[in-house]
Structure 1
């Protein structure tokens, strides 16, 4: 078993950083060391920002977005098109579409995609609320902005079946999204092309 190279406080910092996506133990050590070296200029403001975020950030009960208010600023924005609802897997996908700036719609975050191998079933996703939102109206089009992975496409077909009997047009992203691609990693031009060329399910 490897020995601890620092005190318990530093080791705890490294262990917590290693839980972040894209950071393994080695990267976490480098990040921790950088934070320690920049205590005043980086670590203190980061700690304050994390504390502030912990106390203020909430999940929107309407769409699943994260914001400092509930309902979120997107759901309460009167300039948004209430007839178009964009369904995304995660908040990161919502942010990617907002960065692209090609839609002025409202969103619905599923909280993931169907994945039998990972034990994620329909009951684990925010699907019932989606059906309720469409049923209550005034939604005319649901855009399925889900990744072009097998799980993403399975989820798209499942949602299409759920909405089949409701008076709403269901479309999905088309060209521009590569097979196996995740929305959060695509550039704005690719996302724009995919939105413009969406097709009916």
Structure 2
């Protein structure tokens, strides 16, 4: 065990449970916490406990919030006929940072992936479809990631509303500003070409 300390090993293992954190990164995080002033470590611990105690899932959009319904779902200035579907709350955060989207969101917490046992029931699509009907939504923007599973999820939603008045659109995946074509992957380039728009 590192430094012959089960407590340190337990802290490292706790950090390793975080997504994208390997053993080396977990060790650095643990060493930082242990080397920081006791007050900083206490604040870190209290922040985690506070968030876990206060943050819930909005009953409408399933996004993380401290109220139910959340502030976005109750904001009358937003377009409630427009719903953007994202895989995770981080997707909604990214779109909100852009500042141009004024509709609402729906968080799936994943994508369809039969090989991993994730089907429509696991993503609570029944709740989503009922919400679309209740709110009389006119357009759904599917903003799942440009992966095979993300595309399959987008197609599933599109097919469900094929015979309805609800328009299902897909965000365009294009070349980032300042990015050279030679550094752009094939999938992104393909989406950029398919999502091209008229100039002028």
Q: Say whether the fold is shared (TM-score over 0.5).
A: yes
Who is 1:45 aligned against?
43
Query: Stretches of 4+ moved more than 3 A in 1?
Result: 177-181
Distance 1:54 1:165, change over 3 A: same
Q: Distance in 2 between matches of 1:87 and 1:144?
A: 5
Mark the runs of 5 or more structure 1 residues left unpaired by the alignment. Answer: 182-192
CA contact (8 A) 1:150 1:180 kept: no
Structure 1 residue 32, shift from structure 2 partner:
0.4
Pick the aligned partner of 1:36 from 30, 34, 37.
34
Coordinate RMSD, CA, aligned: 2.1
Q: Distance in 2 between matches of 1:101 and 1:156?
A: 24
Pick the aligned partner of 1:12 from 6, 10, 18.
10
Who is 2:85 aligned against?
87
Who is 2:68 aligned against?
70
CA deviation profile, 1:124-169 (whole Å, cap 9, x unmatched):
1121111111112331111111111111000000011112232211
Distance 1:87 1:107, change over 3 A: same
Structure 1 residue 46, shift from structure 2 partner:
0.7
Q: In the comparison of the two structures, how many residue pairs are matched? A: 183
Distance 1:138 1:113, change over 3 A: same
Mark the runs of 5 or more structure 2 residues left unpaired by the alignment. Answer: 176-184
Higher CA-based Rg: 2
CA contact (8 A) 2:143 2:171 kept: yes
Q: Distance in 2 between matches of 1:152 and 1:10?
A: 39
Q: Distance in 2 between matches of 1:197 and 1:164?
A: 23
CA deviation profile, 1:65-120 (whole Å, cap 9, x unmatched):
00111111111111111110111111111111111222011011111101122221
Who is 1:189 aligned against?
none
Who is 2:151 aligned against?
153
Who is 1:137 aligned against?
135
